[in-house]
Amino acid sequence: MGGSYTEAEVDAVMEALRESMDPRVGFRAKEREVAFEDAFAAYTGARFAVAYNGAGTALDMVLRCLDLDEGDEVISGALNFVGTHVSVLGQGGRLVLAEVEPGTLNLDAADVARRRTTRTRAVLVTHMNGLPADLDALTRAVSAPVDRFEGPPVLIVDAARACGATDSTGPAGASAWATVFSFQSKKLMTTLGEGGMVTTNDADLAGRLRRLRSFGKNTGWGSNYKMTKLQAAVGLVQLRRLDAMNDRRIALARRRNQLLVGVAELTLPPERPGRGHLYYRYVLLVPVDWAGARRDAVMRRLAGEHGIGSVIADPPTYWTHSGIRAHLGGGLTFPVAELTARRMFCPALHPLMSDDDNRRIARAIRESVQYVATTADAR
Which residue ranges make up each domain of the chain? 7-239, 242-378
In this predicted structure, the answer to whether residue 206 has a pLDDT above a threshold of 90 is yes
Name the phi and psi angles at 10, rounded to 5: -60, -45
Name the phi and psi angles at 261, rounded to 5: -60, 135
In this predicted structure, the answer to whether residue 379 has a pLDDT above a threshold of 60 is no
CA 350, distance to chain mean position in Å, is 16
Tell me what the mean pLDDT of segment 106-129 comes to.
96
Lowest-pLDDT range of 97-101, 164-168, 244-248:
164-168
For residues 364 and 120, give the distance between their C-alpha atoms in angstroms, rounded to a whole number: 46
**Per-residue model confidence (pLDDT) at position 37:** 98
In this predicted structure, the answer to whether residue 378 has a pLDDT above a threshold of 80 is no
- Percent of the chain whose predicted confidence (pLDDT) is above 90: 88
**Per-residue model confidence (pLDDT) at position 79:** 98
**Per-residue model confidence (pLDDT) at position 140:** 94
For residues 258 and 250, give the distance between their C-alpha atoms in angstroms, rounded to a whole number: 12
- Angle between helix 203-212 and helix 55-64 axes, rounded to 10 deg: 120
**Per-residue model confidence (pLDDT) at position 376:** 65
What does 32-61 look like in DSSP terms, one character per residue? HHHHHHHHHHHHHT-SEEEEES-HHHHHHH
290 and 344 in contact (C-beta within 8 Å)?
A: no
The second-level CATH assignment, the architecture, of 242-378 is Alpha-Beta Complex (3.90)
For residues 81 and 96, give the distance between their C-alpha atoms in angstroms, rounded to a whole number: 15
Taking the CB of residue 26, how many other CB atoms lie within 10 A of it? Answer: 11
How many CA atoms lie within 13 Å of 170's alpha carbon, on the beta-carbon side? Answer: 9
Confidence of residue 1 (pLDDT cuts 50, 70, 90): low
**Per-residue model confidence (pLDDT) at position 151:** 82
**Per-residue model confidence (pLDDT) at position 245:** 97
> pTM of this prediction?
0.96
The second-level CATH assignment, the architecture, of 7-239 is 3-Layer(aba) Sandwich (3.40)
Render pLDDT for 35-78 as a digit per residue (tens, 0 to 9): 999 999 999 999 999 999 999 999 999 999 999 999 999 999 99
Taking the CB of residue 83, how many other CB atoms lie within 10 A of it? Answer: 18
For residues 55 and 348, give the distance between their C-alpha atoms in angstroms, rounded to a whole number: 23
